[in-house]
Structure 1
Amino acid sequence: MQQLQYHSAWIKQVDSTLDQQIQKAFIQTRENEDQIIVPLRQAINHKGDYLLTVLLHNREQQILNLSTVHLSVSSLYFQANQQHFSSAEWSVEPMTSAPWTFIFSESNYSGELTDDISNLTIEFTSSNQN
C-alpha cells in the first residue's frame, strides 16, 4: 500500500497551504497506477531557475534515486528539459509517495509560465533504480 513520506527538509519548511495540496493530491492519485508524477507548483526563483514542485509516486519494489531522473516539462508556451539533478541526493523508498522540487537551471528551459499547471505535460524517466 502506498504511503506518503516527507524528506526531513520538507517537514521543516512546508507551509500549511502546500501541505494540504500535497495531502489532497496523494489521496486523489495514490491508487492511479498510471500517474507517477503529479505537478503541484511551478515558479522562477530569484536566480532565474525554474522550480517544479511535484508529488512522486514510487510504485516499484526498488528505491528511486532522484539524481538519476530525466525530466521534460512542456506546455503551449514553455519547455524544460534536464537530466541528472545533482542536488537531488534523496531517494524515494519503494511503495512510497513524496513531494519534491526539481530545479532546472536557466539554460534548460525556455518560454513563459502560466498559472495553470494542469496543462503541463511531464515526461519522467529514471536511468537507475537501485
Structure 2
Amino acid sequence: MQLLRFESSWDKTLSDKDRVMIQQFFLETNVANDESIQFIPLRQALNYKGDLLVTVLIHNFSKQIHLFQDKTLHYLENNKIVAEHIFTLPSLIIESKTSMPWTFIFPTHSLIGHLTLENARLELVDITK
C-alpha cells in the first residue's frame, strides 16, 4: 500500500490548504501501473533570481528506496525540454511504496528555452539506456 509522507521541514511549514491539496492529488494518483518513479506536477514558478521552481508529488511505486544522487531531470513544456539539471539531494530519500512532495530548483543556467509554465512535467533521465 502506498503511503504519503512529508519531509520534516515541509511537515512543519506546510499550510493547511496546501496539505489538503497534496493529499487530494495523492488520493487521485497513487495507483501504480508499474514499479517506477512518477512525478505528479503540482505547480511551477520563477523565483526572484530567475530560477525555475517545480513542485511535484513523487511516487515511488518500486520496492526499493530511491535516492536523488546525481539524477538528471528534464523539465518539459508541451513535450519539449526547456530545462535540464543534475540533482544531488542527500536529504531526499523516497522509501519504497512511498509518495512525497518536493520542490526541484532548476538554476537559471539550466534553462534551455522560453518558459510558459504551462502543460509541464518532470522526467527522470535514465542514463543506462
TM-score, normalised relative to structure 1: 0.82
CA RMSD of aligned residues (A): 2.3
Residue 80 of structure 1: aligned partner: 83
Paired positions, count: 124
Counterpart CA distance in 1 for 2:82 and 2:32 is 26
Counterpart CA distance in 2 for 1:111 and 1:88 is 30
**Where does the alignment leave 5 or more consecutive residues of structure 1 unmatched?**
none
Mapping 1:3-42, distance limit 5 Å: 3-33=3-33, 36-42=38-44
8 Å CA contact 1:68, 1:126 repeated in 2: no
Counterpart CA distance in 2 for 1:13 and 1:126 is 33
Residue 91 of structure 1: aligned partner: 93
More strand by share: 2
Residue 102 of structure 1: aligned partner: 104
Moved >3 Å (runs of 4+): none
More helix by share: 1
Counterpart CA distance in 2 for 1:6 and 1:50 is 22
Q: How far has the Cα of 1:78 moved from its partner? A: 7.0
**Where does the alignment leave 5 or more consecutive residues of structure 2 unmatched?**
none
Identity level (%): 34
